[in-house]
Amino acid sequence: MKNIGFIGLGIMGKPMARHLIQGNYPTYLYSRSGVPDELTALGGTACATPKAVAEQADIIILMLPDTPDVEKVLFADNGVAQGLATDSARPQIIIDMSTISPIKTRDFVTQINQLGHDYADAPVSGGDIGAQNATLTIMVGATEAVFGTIQPILSLMGKTITHIGEPGTGQTCKAANQIIAALTLEAVAEALVFVSKAGADPNKVRQALLGGFAASRILEVHGKRMIDHTFTPGFRIDLHMKDLGIALDCATELGVSLPGTALTQSLYKACVAQADSQLDSSAIVCILEKLANHTVRSEVTPVYEA
């Protein structure tokens, strides 16, 4: 059985690592915030540095916030690259499951390949609930051979696992996911502010729309959070802004215009200026409420006099 390394044990990484330990893989763990006792109690081994993880593991998984974090964990002093075997007979595989830049991912692939090792990008969708329940959607950029090797390990953390193409393409797919999610969040927030100010009960409207063509998981889950004003993350505004920044940077490189993405990014910035970047991304409704000078509420308030 292969030894697994897992670096980055936050909202997503902790439950994902738990599934690997419970799948009986010897698992070597590191996180800047420390290794949770729950994981060592289950049999995981805490390591002092990313380098120490790489010295033990055949497959090293990263679940870190952003591109600079991945770069640091891979290439800084005591990083993963320093712990990889120098013997080319023992190729190791790095799987980056964080959401980061597809452009920088291509650099990381080249650098790791030059050291004689393999690299796959496998970002996820499905949030903290998907991580807890091992039902994540995983979008994989890898060679055919590497995909074949890592698929059984990914299946312990996710339900829908798609090999998109060569290394780097998983991150491109994830950027597309984040564009759709952000624009849908914005649309749901606009619609709820609109109906509430018009005097309709947003709870009833949400319920009705969930049975029709406008139905979505975002209307269901985030629509409820917007109506109830419960913004505990979930998926934080700062992470969603980071992801839209990734999409916009790639679009600049490609010469593609993403007007809806740029607008939604701007609304998130306004939301952070007025509220808090650590709130759930459904808090985008707060900035639309300010623009409308109206707070979404579930009780009906008639606005048109007979």
Distance of CA 298 to the CA centre of its chain: 31
Residue 170 near ligand NAD by CB under 6 A: no
Chain residue whose CB lies nearest ligand NAD: 10
Helix (H) or strand (E) holding 94: strand 93-96
Determine the interface stretch with ligand NAD among 18-26, 66-74, 261-269, 294-302 (rule: CB under 6 A): 66-74
Residue 39 near ligand NAD by CB under 6 A: no
Closest distance of CB 195 from ligand NAD, Å = 27
Rg of the chain in Å (alpha carbons): 21
Closest distance of CB 61 from ligand NAD, Å = 11
Q: Which residues of 34-48 are buried (b: 16+ CB within 10 A; e: fewer)?
A: ebbeebeeeebbbbe
Closest to 11 in 3D by CA, of 112, 124, 161? 124
Query: Please, which residue, 31 or 196, has the CB nearer to ligand NAD?
Result: 31
Euclidean distance between CA atoms 124 and 137, whole angstroms: 5
* Contact with ligand NAD (CB under 6 A) among 28, 108, 147, 235: 235
Closest distance of CB 239 from ligand NAD, Å = 4
Query: Please, which residue, 72 or 297, has the CB nearer to ligand NAD?
Result: 72
Q: Which two tokens stand for residue 283?
A: 């808090």
Closest to 126 in 3D by CA, of 134, 116, 118, 136? 136
Determine the interface stretch with ligand NAD among 68-76, 104-112, 188-196, 257-265 (rule: CB under 6 A): 68-76
Closest distance of CB 75 from ligand NAD, Å = 11
Strand bridging mode 124-125 / 118-121: unpaired
Residue 282 near ligand NAD by CB under 6 A: no
Closest to 298 in 3D by CA, of 190, 211, 248, 223? 223
Closest distance of CB 52 from ligand NAD, Å = 12
Bridge partners, 163 (sequence order): 140
Residue 288 near ligand NAD by CB under 6 A: no
Determine the interface stretch with ligand NAD among 25-33, 83-91, 160-168, 296-304 (rule: CB under 6 A): 25-33
Closest distance of CB 168 from ligand NAD, Å = 16
Whether the CB-CB separation of 47 and 28 falls below 8 Å is answered with yes
Spatial neighbors of 276 by CB under 8 A, at least 6 apart, are 237, 283
Q: Is 174 a catalytic residue?
A: yes
Closest to 289 in 3D by CA, of 275, 306, 305? 275
Query: What is the dihedral sign for C-alpha 36, 39, 40, 45?
Result: negative
Q: Per the residue annotation, which of 51, 72, 104, 174 is the catalytic one?
A: 174
Residue 63 near ligand NAD by CB under 6 A: yes
Residue 69 near ligand NAD by CB under 6 A: yes
* Total site size for ligand NAD, rule CB under 6 A: 24
* Contact with ligand NAD (CB under 6 A) among 5, 6, 9, 172: 9
Query: What is the dihedral sign for C-alpha 63, 86, 152, 25?
Result: negative
Site for ligand NAD in 80-119 (CB under 6 A): 98-99
Residues lying near ligand NAD in the complex (CB under 6 A) are found at 7-13, 31-33, 63-65, 69, 72-73, 98-99, 124-125, 127-128, 235, 239
As annotated, the active-site residues are 174
